Chain A
Amino acid sequence: MSRFGVGSLRRQIAALAIVPIGGLLILAAASDWLLRDDLESVSYARATALKIETVVDQIRASTSVEQEAAILDATSRTELQVERVAAADLSGGEPSGGVTDVRHLIRENLPARFISAVQPSTAAGKLRDVLVVQVDDDQALAFLPAPPPPDAWISDREVSVVLQLMVLVLPVGLLSLYAARVISAPLLDFAKAAETLKPDDGPDRPFKEYGAAEIRILARSLNDMRSRLRSMVEDRTRMLRAISHDLRTPLTRLRLRADRSTQPELKAALLEDISALSDMINDTLTYLSTEMAAEKPVNADLPSLLTTVCSDFSDVGFDVRYVGPERFAYHCRPRSIARAITNLVENGTKFAREIRVELSVSTKGGVRIRVADDGPGIPGGLRSRVLEPFFKVDQARTLSDRGGFGLGLSIVDDIVRTHGGRIELSDKVPHGLVVQIELPAGDIVAVPSIFPAKTTVAQIPDSVATPL
């Protein structure tokens, strides 16, 4: 029953329609079995009774003994044996009630004017277990009918009843399946619309208002909810833009003022704080903005992307290097991936001296990007939490004096997840943090390379990790 409760709506409706019909069918079959009147034994009894009636009438009407003998002889050659007995044999006899013997059935089918009795034996006759029928005052006939044909397990009539019911059940069943589909289809459409729904993009009323009245009401309220959601997102975006402007203007003032400071130490400290503040604003805006999600996936050259991120850091004095194949096209959102790797490398530059960004391509076309640093690492227990927004590992990473909001890794996590990949943090021996991003094989549009000599993509088995 509980399984029925959690089954799909379509199945539930179909079951509700079909089960009663099935029940009806079983009921009909059962009642038919209970009213076994029209079984073959019964019709046999009727036919035999008719035959007995005819024989008795003929005997009564016959004028000579030869004629009677001929009639009896002819009758006995059929499946109904007959012999002459005395009328006295009618007396006594077996009681008729409750016996399912075919002789009783025949007797019940004889016309009322016939006096008859069922006898185990007669005084003069040779036949046993006979049905004795009176002819006149002193003579009677003893009939021994052949045993009736056995009743079939299923009668012809039952077969026809089942066929009739099938004719009834089949269209009703199909109709109910169709009806269930019609009812559940809008709901499935809703689910699909809700899944692909973007709060700030797409049609105004994505839930189609069709189907049953209740479903139309549901669609309407979902559409209304979506409108409210959209206006909320728009409000948020407007607010974010306002805040970002309002914060950056004084920050620009500070930046310019700090630059004119004549005390080098104060200037350096001020500039560091200003850039930390500016990073925080950028991180928050990136995390909350929908710009990343709006980026269209393209075929992008991952090595050039990773090299570019590394160059941006090495150009400002950090030891950040790329290790991996020279060229590899991968279907992704390149700016988002670049943002994710930038965040990871930037995080590393706060705690480590040396950072390696490694790319390896699995034989199945999936990619693995590892960002490994030689910093203090993150304690095992905190690793899963660092992906949460606003979480900071302050105790472990005390080197930081420009911590940020703790959104950097959350942004990375978001980006990796929108690419259908996963992120894993682990320790590096002897110390350091390794952030490993696994991305599934993208649906790269296969194009022949123009660099036949250069497509030396390092192929590694899925399970083997690249050594540092």
Chain B
Amino acid sequence: MHGRGPAAPASSMRSLVTFLGTRLLRALVALWLVSTVVFVVMRLSGDPVPLLLPPDAPRSEYARVARELGLDRPLPVQYAVFIGNVLRGDFGRSLHFREPAMQVVVGYLPATLELGLTAFVLAVLVAVPVGLLSAVKRNSLLDQAAMGVALVGQSAPTFFLGILFILLLSLQAGWLPTSGRGGWEHLVLPALTLGAFTMASIARLTRSSVLEVLRQDYVRTARAKGLSEILVVAKHTFRNAAVPILTITGLQFGTLLGGAVVTETVFAWPGIGRLAIQSIYSRDYPVVQAVVFLSALLFIVLNFFIDVVYGLLDPRIRAR
């Protein structure tokens, strides 16, 4: 980094520890909030017992199930038990799959991770070069076209983008399959759909960060030294523009998890997002809870690591 003065190692270390401590605390609070909301919503939903019993079950049976679920105990106790179960990853048994809900969800996770990771890599591989090129050739036809597409990509609803891709590239052109999981050709359209927003955001951000750096004095100095434009961009510009790009990139990866619900439903991709929607329709609430909680956990852990990496990369951020 340019402009970074030599810092005293001890105080720098301490500030890093404080920074990480705050971030960890914040992550834990977020997780606690999510589980509390899940608990409140479940209690608002009314009596879960009839869902578990045949319609002609006697009252004694009803009382037994209610006791088994702990519903006869006071609400604070129920809450404590719930939080205890959450800590152990126990969300009850799936009503549909007849096995522990968390186990079901974990079984669907690889498909989601495969899709999310592909979408992410695709987005970065396309967006960073495009953004860079757009900045260097500012106001050229290429720049204007790329940024126009990026604007549309950023505001287009994911589900309709998926439908458009299926209509144009699968049904009309016949290039790619419409749905399901299989070889790489099954992955292209869902990954493109899921990654579109991320791609657009990263491309726009790369462009503006590079433009920002190109305005700096040291870039002018590098040019004045007679360095070629390629060297100026490669050595002096891109490295300095990388930090904001990296942060937003990391944050975007988390957003992809949320978008997976929609994309997986559009393309019948067998991941946790589609599982969540199907479980809602079959009223399999333990699975819905497990999906919500697991994605929250993934998302928060991921954000924590991004913060850590960011804090290590850029000492200025720790001061905040």
A binds B: no
Contact surface of A with B, Cβ cutoff 8 Å: none
